[in-house]
Amino acid sequence: MPLLRTCILLSSLVFFNIQRGNYCRGETQAASSSFAQTKGNHFVMNGRSFYLNGFNAYWMMYMASDPSTRAKVTSAFKQASKYGMNIARTWAFSDGGSYRPLQSSPGSYNEDMFKGLDFVISEARNYGVHVILSLVNNFNDYGGKKQYVQWAKERGQAINNEDDFYNNTVVKGYYKDHVKTVLTRINSITGVAYRDDSTIFAWELMNEPRCQLDPSGTLLQQWVKEMAAHVKSIDSNHLLEIGLEGFYGGTTPEKKQFNPSNLEYGSDFIANNLIPQIDFASIHIYAEQWLPGASEEAQADFVDKWVGVHIEDCNSVVRKPLIMGEFGKSYKLPGYTIEKRNAYFEKLYDVVYRSASSNGACTGALFWQLLAQGMDNFKDGYDVVLEESPSTASVIAQQSHKLIELIRQDSNVTKST
Active site residues: 208, 326
| DSSP-derived pairing of the beta strands 281-285 and 37-39 | unpaired
Locate all alpha helices (DSSP H) within 235-389, ordered by sequence. Answer: 269-273, 287-290, 296-313, 338-357
Rounded CA separation 270/278 (Å) = 11
Dihedral angle sign, alpha carbons of residues 136, 139, 142, 144: positive
Kind and range of the H or E run holding 150: helix 144-154
Helices 296-313 and 338-357 pack at an angle, to 10 degrees, of 20
**Facing residues of 327 across strands?**
285
Helix then strand then coil, % of the chain, to nearest 5 = 45, 20, 40
Name the DSSP letter for residue 60: H
Residues 6 or more apart whose Cβ sits within 8 Å of residue 255: 248, 269, 270, 309, 313
Q: What is the dihedral of CA 169, 227, 286, 211, to 10 degrees?
A: 30
Which amino acid type is present at position 159?
I
Asked whether the bond before 369 is cis by omega within 30 degrees of 0, the reply is yes
Rounded CA separation 62/116 (Å) = 7
Dihedral angle sign, alpha carbons of residues 105, 107, 108, 113: positive
